[in-house]
């Protein structure tokens, strides 16, 4: 299998992209195509010892910056690393694309160039996170669609239902809509409309859930707009880090807690790992007709390696097929 990765996307590109790709090819038996400015990428590669038959560079002279407007940059920069990488997937020269670059631009390029699944009007980024009842849960959308319509939320519900059955092995996933109160009267107009669509559906919709319910495992799927989802994701990561810092500061205050802290260290490390999204590395963009994995802008090389791994799994397990079947069986009345 060959995965195309945007070599120029992300705050620490191309360095960490190249390193992550090299780590991935060392650990897994697959190939990577790094897309971007050939000279820059080859120079980066030359710093490392890597398997030359596993890593290919495909030239793309243009770079879409983090601040570029998504739609217009995809239109005006036809030879950007993002567009060229997506084109490789469209032409079946690669099985999937991974990018830690401008999320909006990746979403646009993937939607326009790969097309969307039948019945889906907008793709959504889906993330998995741990909850305090030892179970995992799924959130969609984590940032693809920041100003969605209520119908998009309903479609996210349909895709998440299928994805959650497959990925988390849940038979009839409990789907919640993120709002500011449990009552159906709570929330913006758009949330109230989405509530109605979901409530009238055959999905296992449990109603509105609140921010406090996300990490308790109150539901298996959280639906939210991409703006809120992105903020929640980043707040959670940062808060986990802040708790660690606060604990460390407190624990170093006296000898008793210092000893305690040494004894607990392995646990702190395990916990940090559980809450560290770099472990997951990337999140699939559900709804596009192909595999597209969105990485964090601040991805480390480990995150990039894991994003490539996620792309491989998503493709190998044919997850899109499963979602298509789910959408189809829903539209036929199940």
Q: Which 245-264 residues touch a copy of itself, going by CB under 8 A?
A: 245-247, 249-251, 253, 256-257, 259-264
- For the chain, how long is the longest CA-to-CA vector? 66
Sheet holding 205-209, edge to edge: 55-59, 31-36, 2-6, 96-99, 291-295, 282-286, 124-130, 136-140, 221-223, 175-178, 205-209
Q: Where are the alpha helices (DSSP H) in 121-225?
A: 150-167, 189-199
- Among 55, 53, 51, residue whose Cα is nearest residue 38: 55
- Contacting a copy of itself within 142-161 (CB under 8 A): 143, 146-147
User: Binding residue for a copy of itself (CB under 8 A) from 53, 92, 189, 333?
Assistant: 189
CB of 201 to a copy of itself, least distance (A): 22
- Cβ–Cβ under 8 Å, residues 289 and 112: no
Nearer to a copy of itself, 52 or 256 (CB): 256
- Contacting a copy of itself within 5-64 (CB under 8 A): none
Q: Does 215 bind a copy of itself (CB under 8 A)?
A: yes
Span near a copy of itself by CB under 8 A; candidates 14-22, 237-245, 280-288, 310-318: 237-245
Retrieve residue 303's tokens: 């995150």
- Cβ–Cβ under 8 Å, residues 70 and 105: yes
Nearer to a copy of itself, 50 or 205 (CB): 205
Span near a copy of itself by CB under 8 A; candidates 35-43, 56-64, 230-238, 318-326: 230-238
Nearer to a copy of itself, 119 or 297 (CB): 297
- Contacting a copy of itself within 106-145 (CB under 8 A): 130-132, 134, 143
Q: Does 239 bind a copy of itself (CB under 8 A)?
A: yes
Q: Which residues contact 133 (CB under 8 A, 6 or more apart)?
A: 216, 217
Q: How far apart are CA 81 and CA 210, in angstroms?
A: 39
- Among 82, 139, 131, 150, residue whose Cα is nearest residue 275: 131
CB of 63 to a copy of itself, least distance (A): 15
Q: Does 273 bind a copy of itself (CB under 8 A)?
A: no
CB of 189 to a copy of itself, least distance (A): 7
Q: Does 71 bind a copy of itself (CB under 8 A)?
A: no
Nearer to a copy of itself, 119 or 211 (CB): 211
Q: Does 240 bind a copy of itself (CB under 8 A)?
A: yes
User: Binding residue for a copy of itself (CB under 8 A) from 108, 153, 159, 233?
Assistant: 233
Nearer to a copy of itself, 55 or 178 (CB): 178
Give SS3 for 271. helix
Nearer to a copy of itself, 59 or 236 (CB): 236
Q: CA separation (Å) from 144 to 14, 72, 218?
A: 23, 16, 24
Q: Does 76 bind a copy of itself (CB under 8 A)?
A: no
User: Binding residue for a copy of itself (CB under 8 A) from 29, 49, 91, 267?
Assistant: 267
Retrieve residue 103's tokens: 């999320």
Nearer to a copy of itself, 9 or 326 (CB): 9
Q: State the number of binding residues for a copy of itself (CB under 8 A).
A: 71
Q: How far apart are CA 103 and CA 325, in angstroms?
A: 27
- Asked whether the CA dihedral 56, 60, 61, 64 is positive or negative, the reply is negative
């Amino acid at each position: 299998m060959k995965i195309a990765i945007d070599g120029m996307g992300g705050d620490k590109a191309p360095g960490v992209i190249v390193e992550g790709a090299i780590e991935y090819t060392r650990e897994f038996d697959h190939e990577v195509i790094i897309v971007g400015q050939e000279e820059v990428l080859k120079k980066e590669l030359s710093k490392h010892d890597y398997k030359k038959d596993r890593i290919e560079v495909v030239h793309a002279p243009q770079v879409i910056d983090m601040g570029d407007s998504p739609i217009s940059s995809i239109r005006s920069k036809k030879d950007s690393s993002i567009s060229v990488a997506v084109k490789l997937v469209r032409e079946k020269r690669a099985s999937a694309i991974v990018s830690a670059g401008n999320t909006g631009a990746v979403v646009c390029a993937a939607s326009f160039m790969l097309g969307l699944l039948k019945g889906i009007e907008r793709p959504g980024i889906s993330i998995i996170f741990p909850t305090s009842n030892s179970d995992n849960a799924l959130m969609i959308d984590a940032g693809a669609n920041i100003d969605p319509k209520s119908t998009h939320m309903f479609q996210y519900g349909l895709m998440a239902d299928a994805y959650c059955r497959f990925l988390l092995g849940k038979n009839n996933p409990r789907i919640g809509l993120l709002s500011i109160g449990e009552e159906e009267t709570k929330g913006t107009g758009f949330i109230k409309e989405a509530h109605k669509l979901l409530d009238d559906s055959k999905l296992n919709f449990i109603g509105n859930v609140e921010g406090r319910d996300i990490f308790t495992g109150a539901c298996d799927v959280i639906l939210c707009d991409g703006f809120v989802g992105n903020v929640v994701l980043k707040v959670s990561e940062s808060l986990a880090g802040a708790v660690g810092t606060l604990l460390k500061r407190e624990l170093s205050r006296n000898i008793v807690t210092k000893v305690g802290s040494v004894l607990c260290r392995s646990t702190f490390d395990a916990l940090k790992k559980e809450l560290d999204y770099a472990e997951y590395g990337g999140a699939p963009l559900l709804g596009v007709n192909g595999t597209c994995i969105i990485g964090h802008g601040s991805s480390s090389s480990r995150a990039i390696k894991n994003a490539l791994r996620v792309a491989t799994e998503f493709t190998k397990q044919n997850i899109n097929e499963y979602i298509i079947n789910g959408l189809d069986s829903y539209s036929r009345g199940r």
